[in-house]
Structure 1
Amino acid sequence: MRILLVEDDPEQLEPLEGVLSEAGYIVDGVEDGETAQWLLSKKDYDLLILDWMLPTISGLSLCRQYRLLGKTAPVLMLTAKDTTLDKVTGLDAGADDYLVKPADLIELLARVRALGRRSPQWVGDSLSVADLQLHLSNLTVERNQVCVELSPREAQLLEYLMRHRNQVLTREQIEEALWEWGREPESNALTVLVRKLRHRLQLVDAADWIKTVYGMGYSLKAPDNFNTY
């Protein structure tokens, strides 16, 4: 799940970004409304977390503009404004939920999980290809009653491959999907990541499900005997 996190205080942005990333989310963290507005015109997000008070363009205005465009991804308003009138104003602007700062990180993650289930892209807490299961709630992959833990980035790669099973995905497509805005991956980062994920999948006897299509990219495909799943 890709999240746009907009918070103008770096001391609050960094820990929020960190805890969301560790939970397996891809987070584009920015500090001002103008950058957020530009990103919303370029990318599709599964969830928006908006600070109310932002330079130049407020989180409230961003939310209103987003809804006027017909966008339906959930919006969590994160702000120090805590009166009933403030909450009503935020909800009337199109927000789905409201969390008062300073946010408790455990509560934030719980609300993100709940809002994620409202996203048009949500397909459940688990993804399956044949008998291979990825559990997004705890970042594990399971097959033949063997369960293996994944790093957040490994889980993101497997999730993307599973959502596009049997498709050849270019390196550019994968890098754009997995890496956060403003953080360019090193030239060999994806190669290293695929190698690590294959090592994890080897523990459930599925390393060869990730195919390298030379000169093009990668694809996830179950063995032929699983085509009926």
Structure 2
Amino acid sequence: MRLLFVEDSKRLQQTVGTALRRAGFAVDVTGNGQEGLWLAEANEYDVIVLDIMLPGLDGLGLLKQLRDQGRNTHVLLLTARDTVADRVRGLHAGADDYLVKPFALEELLARVQALCRRAYDSKQNKIIIGDMHIDTAARTVSRAGHVIMLQAREYALVEYLARRAGQVVSRTEIESHIYDGDTGLMSNVVDSAVCAVRRKLHVANPEPIIHTRRGQGYVMNPVSP
């Protein structure tokens, strides 16, 4: 899943950005509201984590412009203000959730994961595709009863394809959702990642679950097309 984190505190940029990446998210980070608006307009994010107090353009102004444009990306607002009036203003501006500073990283991650589930119309932490089970809270994958050890980026690939099971997903879509803007991508990075995941899934069950549609992309389906 790909996130945008708009926060002017360098310390939080480093701490939260690192925690989100370790959890398997692709993260773009900026400390300026105007740049945050430009990134949000230029990319498709699953969730935006947005501070209210920002230079250039404040968080509520950024959020209002996104909603006025008809963009429905889920937004988690961060603020140091803990009054009912402030929370109501944020929610009325179009925020989906609200977190007061200081916060625990575990709670931030849980709220981001919840918004990601909402982005794909899911209320559950479990995704089942054939004999493959994905726990999106624990970020684990098992197949045929065997736990599959995946690196963070490999897990992100599996979850993204699983959330779009039965749909053909292009290489460009995969790149934009599981790699952030700071990642220098080789031309075959997606194909290499898919091959690595296939090898690991094959150990538990040799029946393919990720299928290639030549010239189009990949589709996750327990039944061969």
Q: Which residue of 1 aligns with 2:4?
A: 4
Distance 1:108 1:168, change over 3 A: closer
Amino acid at match of 1:113: Q
Higher relative contact order (CA 8 A, sep 6+): 2
Distance 1:36 1:158, change over 3 A: same
Paired residue secondary structure (1:203): helix
2:94 and 2:139 mapped to 1: Cα distance?
31
Paired residue secondary structure (1:34): helix
Q: Which residue of 1 aligns with 2:120?
A: 121
Counterpart check, 1:186 vs 2:186 = yes
Paired residue secondary structure (1:48): strand
Distance 1:82 1:195, change over 3 A: same
The answer (yes or no) to whether the contact 1:3–1:45 under 8 Å persists in 2 is yes
Q: Deviations over 1:109-149 (max 9, x none)?
A: 222234344x3423232333322222222222222222223
Q: Which residue of 2 aligns with 1:220?
A: 220
1:67 and 1:221 mapped to 2: Cα distance?
35
Following superposition, the deviation at residue 153 of structure 1 comes to: 0.9
- TM-score w.r.t. length of structure 1: 0.81
Paired residue secondary structure (2:180): coil
- Count residues with an aligned counterpart: 224
Paired residue secondary structure (2:28): strand
Which aligned pairs between 1:42-61 and structure 2 lie closer than 5 A? 42-61=42-61
- TM-score w.r.t. length of structure 2: 0.83
Q: Which residue of 1 aligns with 2:28?
A: 28
Which aligned pairs between 1:189-208 and structure 2 lie closer than 5 A? 189-206=189-206, 208=208
Amino acid at match of 1:141: V
Following superposition, the deviation at residue 56 of structure 1 comes to: 0.8
Which aligned pairs between 1:96-111 and structure 2 lie closer than 5 A? 96-111=96-111
Aligned residues: CA RMSD: 2.7
Following superposition, the deviation at residue 158 of structure 1 comes to: 1.4
The gaps in structure 1 that reach 5 residues or longer are: none
